[in-house]
């Protein structure tokens, strides 16, 4: 089937993450089921835009947001591009499609005070779980790595002697991230406690639960959400907001945009620029001071 070939393509050639491949597969199976049930059409490579438009209407009626619908349609677009590439079809049914309008999503980063209250306070317990949770939040904030990157971080990828970690990002692209002294101290304490665990089932992974198994996404999300709920009133409190905070705070303090891009593991500066809105006030201050006629505006 074309779907199976496509999934094999994004897994082995495009090297999409397992999480992304699972999401793509579910999306295509759901669309396939919709076409089979409503149009008696089993092979989705034969669909027309009318079929897709009916599916979009179905998604709208079932309370899916425009952002979610655009993401699902984007999967179909990738699938049809693959069919064009393999000469399975001659024209994509989505060629004339335009994404649904969505409101601009702005993630509000944590403030420096909120981060300080959490990391400098006494909110974490002194046992293994508390040390693990604090180390997770510390590494997320000090390095800007993604939640999945933290979960997949291997023990041999953490080099405390060289003061750096090797992170495997999207499409298995590796990058080296330097570590600051505070992070190294936190990692050393965590490792000291980790070595006390009698049975490390997933010992190849740097971060393990108190029972010695690899962490899951829910654990990391709940850790960040729980602790920041104690110091912040912001609506969204997630690992991604910590990544957002990392980038915003660096840019606010004069970091080069390209350097932040490399630290985040972005393929283009355009992806990094979404974090610059939070530093607009800082940019305005620099602009005002640097422009030859800036002082005249006082």
- Which helix (H) or strand (E) element contains residue 114? helix 112-120
Is 243 one of the annotated active-site residues of the chain? yes
In the set 16, 142, 190, 275, the catalytic residue is 275
Helices (H), 2-85: 2-8, 18-39, 49-61, 66-85
Task: Kindly list the distances between the CA atom of residue 21 and the CA atoms of 3, 6, 15, 16, in Å, as whole numbers in the listed order.
Answer: 12, 10, 9, 6
Report the distance separating Cα 241 and Cα 221, nearest Å: 11
Is 177 in a helix, a strand, or coil? strand
Is 266 one of the annotated active-site residues of the chain? yes
The DSSP line for 223-250 is HHHHHHTTT---S--SHHHHHHHHHHHH
- Which helix (H) or strand (E) element contains residue 174? strand 174-178
Residues 179, 183, 187: CA angle, nearest 5 degrees:
110
177 beta partners: 165
Structure token pair of residue 106: 């702005």
Residues 111, 112, 118: CA angle, nearest 5 degrees:
95
In the set 51, 243, 244, 249, the catalytic residue is 243
In the set 72, 146, 237, 261, the catalytic residue is 146
Is 146 one of the annotated active-site residues of the chain? yes
Q: Which residue has tokens 């079809």?
A: 89
b or e along 13-23 (b: 16 or more beta carbons within 10 Å of the residue's beta carbon)?
Answer: eeebbeebbee
In the set 71, 168, 240, 282, the catalytic residue is 240
Pairing mode of beta strands 174-178, 158-159 = unpaired
In the set 166, 168, 170, 214, the catalytic residue is 170
By annotation, the residues acting in catalysis are: 146, 170, 240, 243, 266, 275
């Amino acid at each position: 089937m074309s779907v199976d070939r496509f999934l094999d393509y994004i897994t082995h050639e495009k090297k999409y993450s397992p999480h992304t491949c699972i999401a793509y597969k579910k999306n295509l199976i759901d669309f396939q089921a919709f076409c089979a049930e409503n149009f008696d059409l089993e092979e989705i490579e034969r669909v027309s835009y009318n079929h897709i438009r009916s599916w979009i209407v179905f998604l709208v009626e079932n309370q899916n947001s425009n952002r979610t619908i655009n993401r699902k349609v984007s999967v179909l677009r990738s699938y049809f591009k693959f069919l064009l590439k393999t000469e399975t079809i001659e024209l994509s049914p989505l060629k004339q499609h335009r994404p649904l309008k969505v409101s601009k999503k702005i993630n509000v980063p944590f403030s420096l005070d909120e981060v300080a209250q959490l990391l400098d306070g006494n909110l974490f317990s002194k046992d293994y779980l508390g040390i693990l949770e604090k180390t997770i939040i510390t590494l997320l904030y000090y390095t800007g790595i993604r939640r999945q990157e933290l979960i997949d971080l291997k023990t041999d990828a953490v080099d405390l002697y060289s003061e750096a970690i090797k992170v495997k990002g999207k499409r298995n692209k590796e990058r080296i991230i330097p570590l600051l002294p505070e992070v190294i101290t936190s990692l050393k304490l965590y490792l000291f406690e980790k070595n006390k665990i009698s049975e490390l089932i997933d010992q190849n992974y740097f971060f393990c639960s108190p029972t010695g198994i690899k962490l899951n996404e829910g654990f990391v999300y709940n850790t960040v959400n729980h602790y920041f709920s104690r110091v912040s009133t912001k609506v969204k409190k997630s690992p991604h907001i910590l990544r957002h905070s990392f980038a915003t705070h660096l840019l606010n303090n004069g970091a080069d945009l390209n350097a932040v891009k490399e630290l985040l593991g972005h393929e283009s500066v355009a992806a990094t620029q979404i974090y610059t809105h939070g530093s607009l006030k800082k940019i305005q201050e620099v602009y005002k001071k640097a422009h030859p006629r800036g002082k005249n505006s006082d």
